């Protein structure tokens, strides 16, 4: 009942009655004080309501009660720590949970054994993602994943995560093997199709990437990120009409996937249609004003339209709505530098570093600023800070972890039409799913049973909010939108 109220508030109200939900959770735990999902859901509610201390007590109570489905409680507590910026505490919680279930060898039934393996896989995946995405430590993430795969060798999620680690380490062949294994285990695993396709796209293997995206969309036509990636691929290839069609089709299938609007807006901006780009990004910000990249695109559009005075206002509004997106601070700092406001720019860059001290481009921008005004002492202090924060030269723009020889080889292969032949593993997957992998444009219409034939981008654009606001005054960017995702 509590979960139903959270998902579909009684009386059609937009926000659930939190008081009622709390009472329901309390009653559930009185009836069964070892019910793990209740502790987890109750803790998640309090975390989202901003009651971190109460959420922590609920998670810890669930752990102390040795409750059922305990991995979800460990996971909830780890997410709470992460939301507070306590990465080490989150890792510690997950390691405790992993050790607990990893050492339970006395289960005497198949169901208990299988459930324990699933628990280990779940916690291993969460811990590995922290190591990979928060700490950027692919080797440590791989260690954790190998531990999980020992218990659950065909877990699609663990195999996908291992593929991401291999890709991050520059081992493309190892990544391909893991992605293929993940998709063999579950061909409906949309994230695996997306990750595999994006890796091939970045490597210049456009034909293979196209096949992977089509396979993914045939299995999961409502996965917005696949439409976005496929549209981006076609735009990279210069197929503007095809890219526009894919973005429009993706929005029809996934109307709440905000990055699709942003991707389409960027496509129109590059094509010179700033009015359409403005309309699209206005729709994106109406749906989710807390997405920082949307405000960056909006500022870029106004700059292209010559509305320089609005750029700073938009970026400041973006910081208000998405204070954790440090790229907004960097963009606004560049805007302030162009206006000659050096102190303001320095303050913005310092604030960005305070929010995310591991985002190297902020240090690079601050170093350029100090060098521009010949602040030798400030530059020396910054060099000392970066040396303490980063193991290598953080003042240089970040590059992928490839050697110079590998980068040269990568560029040579792309220039010569790298990998014209689709890998055997990908071809086998495509054949199994029923997607032809010929490099022709008409294959797009077969992705989801010919649904692209009914897509009209112009009609879709006309139905969006902001239609008709073509005066270039930028006011569309500032309309408030209802909060989402809470």
For residue 389, the model assigns a pLDDT of 78
Q: In the structure encoding, which two tokens stand for residue 469, read together? A: 């606001």
pLDDT at 84 over 70: yes
String of b and e for 140-158 (b: at least 16 CB within 10 Å)? Answer: bbbebbebbbebbeebbbb
pLDDT at 301 over 80: yes
Distance of CA 58 to the CA centre of its chain: 28
Which is higher by pLDDT, 187 or 107?
187
Q: In the structure encoding, which two tokens stand for residue 455, read together? A: 């897509």
Residue with tokens 């969006």: 464
With beta carbons less than 8 A apart as the criterion, state whether 70 and 62 touch: yes
For residue 14, the model assigns a pLDDT of 62
CB atoms within 10 A of CB 187: 18
In which band, very low, low, confident or very high, does the pLDDT at 458 lie, cut at 50, 70 and 90?
Answer: confident
For residue 3, the model assigns a pLDDT of 85
Distance CA 451, CA 46 (A): 42
State the number of CA atoms in the 13 A half-sphere of 484 facing the CB: 14
For residue 304, the model assigns a pLDDT of 93
For residue 399, the model assigns a pLDDT of 43
Distance CA 479, CA 282 (A): 9
The listed range with the strongest mean pLDDT (36-40, 242-246, 396-400) is 242-246
For residue 4, the model assigns a pLDDT of 82
For residue 358, the model assigns a pLDDT of 78
Q: Mean pLDDT, to the nearest integer, of 81-108?
A: 80
Summarised one tens digit per residue, pLDDT across range 309-365 is: 899 999 999 999 999 899 999 999 999 999 999 999 999 999 999 988 878 899 999
For residue 469, the model assigns a pLDDT of 43
Summarised one tens digit per residue, pLDDT across range 195-214 is: 999 999 999 999 999 999 99
Which is higher by pLDDT, 116 or 409?
116
Q: Mean pLDDT, to the nearest integer, of 424-442?
A: 64
Which is higher by pLDDT, 441 or 308?
308
Which is higher by pLDDT, 448 or 365?
365
pLDDT at 396 over 50: no
Which is higher by pLDDT, 299 or 1?
299
In which band, very low, low, confident or very high, does the pLDDT at 465 lie, cut at 50, 70 and 90?
Answer: low
Distance CA 187, CA 180 (A): 9
| φ and ψ of 232, to 5 deg | -65, -40
Average predicted confidence (pLDDT) for the chain? 83
The pTM of this model reads: 0.79
In which band, very low, low, confident or very high, does the pLDDT at 444 lie, cut at 50, 70 and 90?
Answer: low
For residue 425, the model assigns a pLDDT of 75
**CA neighbor of 282 nearest in space, from 458, 468, 455, 459:** 468
**CA neighbor of 161 nearest in space, from 128, 114, 112, 117:** 128
Q: In the structure encoding, which two tokens stand for residue 472, read together? A: 């270039």
Distance CA 224, CA 255 (A): 9
For residue 70, the model assigns a pLDDT of 86
pLDDT at 75 over 50: yes
pLDDT at 236 over 80: yes
């Amino acid at each position: 009942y509590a979960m139903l109220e959270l998902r579909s508030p009684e009386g059609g109200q937009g926000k659930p009655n939190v008081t009622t939900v709390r009472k329901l959770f309390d009653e559930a735990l009185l009836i069964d004080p070892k019910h793990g999902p209740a502790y987890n859901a109750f803790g998640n509610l309090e975390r989202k309501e901003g009651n971190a201390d109460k959420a922590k007590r609920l998670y810890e109570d669930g752990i102390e009660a040795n409750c059922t489905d305990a991995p979800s409680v460990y996971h909830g507590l780890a997410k709470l720590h992460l939301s507070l910026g306590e990465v080490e505490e989150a890792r510690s919680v997950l390691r405790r949970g992993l050790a607990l279930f990893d050492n339970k060898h006395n289960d005497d039934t198949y169901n208990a054994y299988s459930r324990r393996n699933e628990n280990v896989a779940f916690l291993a995946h969460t811990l590995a993602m922290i190591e990979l995405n928060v700490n950027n430590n692919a080797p440590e993430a791989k260690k954790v994943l190998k531990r999980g795969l020992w218990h659950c060798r065909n877990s699609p999620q663990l195999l996908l995560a291992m593929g991401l680690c291999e890709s991050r380490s520059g081992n493309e062949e190892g990544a391909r093997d893991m992605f293929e294994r993940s998709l063999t285990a579950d061909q409906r695993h949309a994230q695996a199709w997306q990750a595999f396709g994006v890796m091939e796209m970045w490597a210049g293997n456009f034909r293979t990437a196209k096949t992977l995206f089509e396979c993914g969309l045939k299995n999961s036509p409502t996965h917005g990120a696949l439409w976005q990636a496929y549209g981006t691929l076609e735009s990279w290839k210069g197929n503007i009409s095809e890219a526009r069609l894919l973005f429009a089709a993706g929005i029809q299938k996934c109307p709440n996937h905000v990055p699709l609007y942003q991707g389409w807006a960027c496509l129109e901006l590059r094509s010179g249609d700033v009015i359409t780009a403005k309309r699209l990004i206005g729709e994106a910000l109406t749906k989710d004003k807390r997405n920082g990249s949307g405000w960056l695109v909006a500022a870029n559009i106004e700059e292209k339209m010559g509305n320089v005075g609005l750029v700073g206002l938009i970026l400041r509004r973006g910081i208000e709505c998405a204070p954790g997106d440090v790229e907004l601070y960097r963009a606004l700092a560049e805007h302030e530098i162009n206006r000659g406001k050096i102190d303001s720019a320095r303050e913005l860059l310092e604030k960005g570093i305070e929010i995310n001290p591991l985002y190297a481009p902020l240090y690079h921008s601050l170093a350029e600023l100090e060098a521009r005004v010949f602040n030798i002492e400030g530059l020396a202090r910054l060099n000392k800070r970066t040396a303490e924060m980063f193991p290598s030269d953080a003042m240089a723009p970040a590059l992928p972890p490839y050697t110079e020889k590998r980068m040269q080889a990568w560029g040579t292969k792309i220039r010569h039409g790298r990998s014209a032949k689709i890998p055997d593993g990908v071809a086998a997957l495509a054949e199994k799913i029923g997607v032809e992998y010929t490099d022709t444009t008409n294959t797009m219409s077969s992705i989801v049973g010919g649904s692209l034939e009914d897509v009209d981008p112009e009609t879709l654009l006309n139905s969006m909010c902001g239609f008709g606001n073509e005066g270039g005054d930028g006011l569309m960017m500032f309309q408030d939108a209802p909060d989402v995702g809470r």
